[in-house]
Amino acid sequence: MQRILSGIQPSGQLHIGNYFGMMKTMIANMETSDLYVFIVDLHALTSVQDRKKLSTGTLEAAADFLSLGLDPEKCTFWVQSDVPEVCELSWILSNMTPMGLLERCHSYKDKVTKGIAANHGLFAYPVLMAADILLYQSEIVPVGKDQKQHLEVARDIAIKFNNTFGETFVIPEPAISENTAIVPGLDGQKMSKSYDNTIPIFLDDKPLRKQVMAVQTDSTPVEEPKNPDTCNLYALLKLFAPKDKMKEVHDLYVNGGAAYGYLKQDLFELIRDYYADARARKKELLQNQDYLRDILQKGADKARGKASETLAVVRDRVGLRY
């Protein structure tokens, strides 16, 4: 079975981009792969420096995954910082990481442009991510397109390590779904917590409707034809509407008659119904935090077994023994 691994930062509310970019693929692979899913709280420290926010965000992220259908019996599911081996590997890999490789990372440059402090954690973020991936000998890493460059960094580091110390790491491949590589946000840019343009999955009906009504559209009159390919409302509808409904919507765009207000109401109802069961399950799970902690602890024990195996080999290869 292939080992598939991916993680999410507990840095804000889970949104539709996270779901279609990563989570859905992960959950779909549960039965047929050796699935590793984790909550990257160490990475979230680069943007969340608030004790309560980080710790409640971590439990929430666990409830998000479980409520959306992840079965902890069928995968390894844990919190990154519960396996401290990853920090040691990250340090070792840092010494195989040219500065230029990190200086070129768009994600780092974008975040600094947006005013996030350019500290060492933010700069070294891709090395810790490489350690996450390589520690578990991951073969496939499902992510949204924004993470593609980080995967390339992980591959470069693994290749350099293998060339220097002998075959040690599996070289990971990214898996990026064609249709959902970049889910657009309210403003048409990539939906992202850091752009404040998201539609969170677990909002209650009223705020959810408000958010969907805020999807930006152009001012073409109802009766005029519109281009579906450039409309973010259309792109979002396509994620949720059944094929026959989408055919009708497509015809309205192309021939005229698409009324944005009505289509937004449709989108609201589709999203509400799509996540209705998960929303109820999440509420229940959050009332049972000991259960969540227990699952994460068991997952961490499992992950740690694999992590220490890899780390023992790495320590030996580089000479961290005497």
Given 9, 97, 180, 232, the residue binding ligand TRP (CB under 6 A): 9
φ/ψ (deg, to 5) at 56 = -70, -35
Give min distance, CB of 224 to ligand ADP, in A. Answer: 29
Buried b (16+ CB within 10 A) or exposed e, 120-138: eebbbbbbbbbbbbbbbbb
Q: Does the annotation mark 111 as catalytic?
A: yes
Contact of 134 with 314, CB cutoff 8 Å:
no
Q: Does the annotation mark 52 as catalytic?
A: no
Task: Using the structure block, give the residue that is written with the tokens 């060492």.
Answer: 120
x/- mask, ligand ADP, residues 20-59, rule CB under 6 A, reads -xx-------------------------------------
236 near ligand ADP, judged by CB under 6 A: no
156 near ligand ADP, judged by CB under 6 A: no
Q: Indicate the SS3 state at residue 137.
A: coil
DSSP 256: S
| Nearer to ligand ADP (CB atom), residue 190 or residue 264 | 190
233 near ligand TRP, judged by CB under 6 A: no
- How far is the C-alpha of 166 from the C-alpha of 189, rounded, in Å? 43
Give min distance, CB of 228 to ligand TRP, in A. Answer: 29
- Segment lying near ligand TRP (by CB under 6 A), choices 52-60, 128-136, 202-210, 263-271: 128-136
144 near ligand ADP, judged by CB under 6 A: yes
Q: Are strands 173-175 and 3-8 parallel, antiparallel or unpaired?
A: unpaired
How large is the angle between the packed helices 232-240 and 260-274, nearest 10 degrees?
Answer: 30
Q: Indicate the SS3 state at residue 15.
A: strand
89 near ligand ADP, judged by CB under 6 A: no
Give min distance, CB of 138 to ligand TRP, in A. Answer: 7
- Segment lying near ligand ADP (by CB under 6 A), choices 27-35, 49-57, 186-194, 215-223: 186-194
- How far is the C-alpha of 36 from the C-alpha of 305, rounded, in Å? 13
Contact of 33 with 142, CB cutoff 8 Å:
no
Residue number, nearest CB to ligand ADP:
21
Amino acid code (one letter) for 297: Q
Given 3, 4, 9, 279, the residue binding ligand ADP (CB under 6 A): 9
Catalytic residue, from 74, 114, 160, 193: name it.
193
- Name the burial class of residue 321, with classes exposed (0-12), middle (13-18) and buried (19+) by CB atoms within 10 angstroms of its CB: exposed
Given 7, 57, 184, 299, the residue binding ligand TRP (CB under 6 A): 7
C-alpha 107: how far from its chain's center?
14
Give min distance, CB of 297 to ligand ADP, in A. Answer: 23
Report the half-sphere exposure of 25 (CA within 13 A, side-chain side): 22
How many binding residues for ligand ADP (CB under 6 A)?
18
C-alpha 213: how far from its chain's center?
25
- How far is the C-alpha of 271 from the C-alpha of 90, rounded, in Å? 39
Catalytic residue, from 114, 190, 210, 302: name it.
190
Q: Which does 21 bind (CB under 5 to 8 A by kind): ligand TRP, ligand ADP, none?
A: ligand ADP
- How far is the C-alpha of 90 from the C-alpha of 111, rounded, in Å? 21
- Segment lying near ligand ADP (by CB under 6 A), choices 126-134, 140-148, 216-224, 297-305: 140-148
Give min distance, CB of 193 to ligand ADP, in A. Answer: 4
Binders of ligand TRP among 132-161, rule CB under 6 A? 132-133, 141, 143, 147, 150
191 near ligand ADP, judged by CB under 6 A: yes
